[in-house]
Chains A and B, each alone.
Chain A
């Protein structure tokens, strides 16, 4: 059910996946905060072979003016893939997929960002995918959340994201590009780790009730791993030598 035909062994008899990971093992994750000088806040993430930069401006004046809201600030997110981020040149104009991902990232960040403190302003998040490798929306969201915290935008909580999925009839954590293409289901999840609230949940594929429950639990466990790395990145940037 689902997935493209492939000769690749997605999961071998020992429970090892096509890239050598166990079913509950995420890819290598590295996050660095404050990588850009000209943005108010920024972050760089490597999530497996994903390489993503996020830059944040604001809160600042809203242009065009008609978008501004007298009651609250607004959040604008642009997720954009560089032409060289995939194997075939990607046309630089925003695609349907990029517009959708920009929207879901914005909606996943909104519950955390305290925009009501800055009426009539905008917070702009720009996410550039330098290299894509499956699960880029989660990685982009992780980088965007760190960039927002780096910019000093008040947040109720961080936002951490990770995908889970179904490959060879097994629920696995953090599916890569091959597993995404040939696997049976892909479920990106984002949470606010301290409150436990889910801010992003998508599902592409078919799961039974039990599989669904296991998949979401696996995804949330992945988010908690990401959260620790996000905190480390912020601490490295801001608490050099200070505090605990």
Chain B
């Protein structure tokens, strides 16, 4: 059974290193979030069950275009800061702000699979689509979950997401920021995939999660 904690709860007084969402107060490790305690090697951290995504370089994220300037798009990436996607990333080095219209490539509300290029809190995160399999997501519905539950959606070696994709014929692009784009040719498959992701968001880290997901996918728990 995972150990659950809330802000202010003492996790341990043992000499361990404080990881994410853990505060060292004197000789006590204290949780700063509602979440699950995770101990690996010498470090104690708390996996938060709610909250926003804190950008980290190289993370894959799913973002939504919310605005643009003459040089870059601004993307909502479920973080405290907006992500900036430079126009040169999409148009190439020939980009000229007076000639190229940004909305011709990415319009408001478009979903984008991107990678965090860098981020250090003093500036807004810079994101890039300059890589294989990145770029505009042409068809897909946005499904939101807590970033801390993304690992449950992926499952051990991708088992959970594979189960969902196989059962529904849906294609799911998962961002580390807790946003996923789900596309499926059949409406029924899309509905079942979304329902399964909703179940994971609600029951992540509970025993018997796979059974609940299977029943949401219409497999009757078998």
Contact = CB atoms under 8 A, between A and B. Distances in A.
Contacts of A153: 51
User: How would you classify the secondary structure of chain A's contact residues: helix, strand, loop or mixed?
Assistant: loop
A77 interface: no
Nearest to A70: B122
Contact of A242 (B6, B32, B33, B205): B205
A154 B10 contact: no
Interface string B19-35: 00101010000101111
Nearest to A160: B8
A55 to B, nearest CB: 14
B206 interface: yes
B205 A156 contact: no
B72 to A, nearest CB: 15
Interface in B1-17: 1-4, 6-10
A238 B203 CA distance: 9
A152 B178 CA distance: 13
A233 to B, nearest CB: 10
Interface stretch (A112-120, A124-132, A201-209, A214-222): A112-120
B97 interface: no
Contact of A244 (B1, B25, B34, B206): B1
Contacts of B134: none
Contacts of B196: none
A243 B21 contact: no
A89 interface: no
B65 interface: no
Contacts of B3: 243-244
B125 interface: no
Contacts, number: 105
A194 B10 contact: yes
B146 interface: yes
A84 interface: no
A121 B52 CA distance: 12
B8 A158 contact: yes
Contacts of A154: 7, 21, 32-33, 51
Contacts of A73: 80
Nearest to A145: B7
A234 B34 contact: yes
B190 interface: no
Q: Which of B6, B25, B204, B205 has the most CB of A within 10 A?
A: B6
B70 interface: no
A61 B81 contact: yes
Contact of B203 (A158, A235, A240): A240
B32 A156 contact: yes
Contacts of B7: 112, 149, 154-158
Contacts of B146: 152
A174 interface: no
B34 A194 contact: no
Contacts of B23: 156
Interface in B189-204: 202-204
20 contacts: A40-B50, A40-B52, A61-B81, A61-B82, A70-B122, A118-B80, A152-B146, A153-B51, A154-B32, A154-B51, A157-B7, A195-B8, A195-B25, A234-B6, A238-B35, A238-B49, A241-B203, A241-B207, A243-B3, A244-B3
Interface of B: 1-4, 6-10, 21, 23, 25, 30, 32-36, 48-52, 80-82, 121-122, 146, 202-207
Given A193-B8, A194-B9, A238-B34, 15 more contacts: A58-B80, A61-B81, A149-B33, A152-B51, A154-B21, A154-B33, A155-B7, A156-B7, A156-B8, A157-B8, A194-B10, A234-B34, A238-B50, A242-B204, A244-B1
